[in-house]
Amino acid sequence: MLRRLELFLTLIALLALSSAVFADQVTLKNGDRLTGTVVKSDGKTLVLHTDAAGDVTIQFAAITEIKTDAELHVSLKGGKTAVGPVSTADGKIEISTKTTGTVEAPKDDVTLIRNDAEQAAYDKSLHPGLAHGWNGGANIGFSIARGNSETENLALAFNAVHPTLNDKITVYATSLYTKSDEPPPPTVSANLETGGLRYDRNLSPRTFVFAAADFQANALQYLDLRQVYGGGFGYHAIKSDATTLDFLAGVNFTHETYSNGMLVQTAPPIFVSYGVTNKFLALTLGEELMHKVGKSTVITQSFYMYPDLQDTSDYRGTFNLGTVTKISKSFGWQNQFSDIYVSDPPEGAKQNDLVITTGLNYTFTH
C-alpha cells in the first residue's frame, strides 16, 4: 500500500514537472519569472496566458528573457517574418525555424508576435468569407410634433463594409421622409431615398481601382429614379488608424427619369412619371475623409462632382458631413448634414436640397 502511494505521488510530481518544463517562460528585469503560454505581442506589450491569473499583459521593455517550446509567428522591422520556438539572450531574439535555421535579431526589432491560434484568426480576418467580416452601422431618427404644427419625420440609414487585405465592399442605403398634416391636405416636404454599392481593389499601398452603382429617388426634385454606374481610380493620400483621406476620379453612365411635376393636388399628390429621361456619360470626381477624434467620436466627410461630358454646363454635386459619438460599445449618437445639388432641375424644382438629420446609431461587427 505504501509502495502504491509513493508511485502515485511520484507520478503527480512528474506531471507537474512536465507541465512546467513545456510551459513558456518569461523573465522580468526585477527577477520575477512567469510561466504560461505566450499569446501575442505588438512590440510594446506581451500577453501571457497563465493557469492561475488568466491573460497577463506585460510591458515588453520589462522583459529580459523569453523561452518558448511552441512555435510563434514573429514579425521584425523591415518586413521580415519567422516561425519557430523563441528564445532571447543579451538583448537579442532567436527564432529556431524549420526551413532557414535560427533567425537572430535585436529584441527591439520585434513588431509582432502571435501564437498559432492568434495567427490563424488573423489570417482568417484578412480573407473572410462573404458571410463574415462585415462591420458598419444603422441610424434611426424620428420626430413628431403636435400643437402649433403637425409634422412627422423619419430618417433611416444603413452602411456596411466588408474589408479584406486587398479589397473592400461597401453597401449603403438611406431614407428620409417628412410629412406635414396642417394645413390640410397633408403635404410631403421631403421624400428622399438613396442606395448603392461599391467595390475597391488595391493596386498598391497607395492606389486602388473602384466600381460602383448608385441609385437615388427624390420627390421634391421630381426625380423618379437616377441610376449611376461607374468606375475609376483612387489614391490614399492619408491612411492611418486615426485618419484616412482618399481622392477618386473616373467616369460613369447616368440614366435618370424625372416626372413632369404634380398632376393632381391630392393627398398624397399624384405625379406624372417618365416626363423627362436623360442618358449621358459623366465624370466622377470626389474625395472622402474619415477622422477619429479621441476615443469616442468619428467624423466623416465626402464631396463628389459629376460633370456631364456631353453638356459641360450640366453637373451634379453631393456633400456629406457626419459625426458619430459613442454612448456605449454598440450605440452612439449620430448627426448628418447633406447637400444635394443639380445644376438644371426640372421646372418648379430647386437646385439644392439641404438635409440635416440626427438620431441613434447602432454599430455592428459580423
Q: Which of 83, 102, 126 is the last residue of a domain?
A: 126
When divided into structural domains, the chain yields a total of 2
The confidence score (pLDDT) of residue 17 equals 43
The answer to whether the CB of 318 falls within 8 A of the CB of 324 is no
Same domain? For 318 and 275 the reply is yes
3-class secondary structure, 198: strand
Same domain? For 142 and 247 the reply is yes
The confidence score (pLDDT) of residue 15 equals 44
Q: Which of 72, 93, 126 is the last residue of a domain?
A: 126
3-class secondary structure, 80: coil
Owner of C-alpha cell 449618437: 333
Phi, psi (deg, nearest 5) at residue 202: -70, 135
The answer to whether the CB of 247 falls within 8 A of the CB of 286 is yes
Same domain? For 11 and 88 the reply is yes
Same domain? For 75 and 179 the reply is no
Phi, psi (deg, nearest 5) at residue 8: -65, -45
Same domain? For 232 and 209 the reply is yes
List of residues 6+ apart from 88 with CB closer than 8 A:
63, 64, 65, 66, 67, 94, 107
Taking only the tens place, the pLDDT of each residue in 196-222 is 999 999 999 899 999 999 999 988 778
Same domain? For 55 and 12 the reply is yes
The confidence score (pLDDT) of residue 234 equals 97
The confidence score (pLDDT) of residue 312 equals 82
Same domain? For 75 and 149 the reply is no
Same domain? For 109 and 192 the reply is no
Same domain? For 204 and 98 the reply is no
Taking only the tens place, the pLDDT of each residue in 222-234 is 888 999 999 999 9
Same domain? For 159 and 84 the reply is no
10 is in which domain, residue-wise?
Answer: 2-126
The confidence score (pLDDT) of residue 61 equals 86
The confidence score (pLDDT) of residue 19 equals 41
Residue 297 maps to which CATH number?
2.40.160.40
The confidence score (pLDDT) of residue 139 equals 92
Residue numbers of the chain with a pLDDT score lower than 70: 1-22, 145-150, 181-186, 188-189, 260-274, 348, 366
- Answer yes or no: pTM beyond 0.85: no
Same domain? For 86 and 219 the reply is no
The confidence score (pLDDT) of residue 10 equals 54
The confidence score (pLDDT) of residue 14 equals 44
Q: Which of 126, 146, 180 is the last residue of a domain?
A: 126
Helix spans in the chain (H): 2-22, 116-126
The answer to whether the CB of 41 falls within 8 A of the CB of 66 is no
The confidence score (pLDDT) of residue 288 equals 96
Burial category of 50 from C-beta neighbours within 10 Å (exposed 0-12, middle 13-18, buried 19 and up): middle
The confidence score (pLDDT) of residue 233 equals 97
The confidence score (pLDDT) of residue 51 equals 86
Among 289, 310, 362, CA closest to 331: 362
Same domain? For 120 and 148 the reply is no
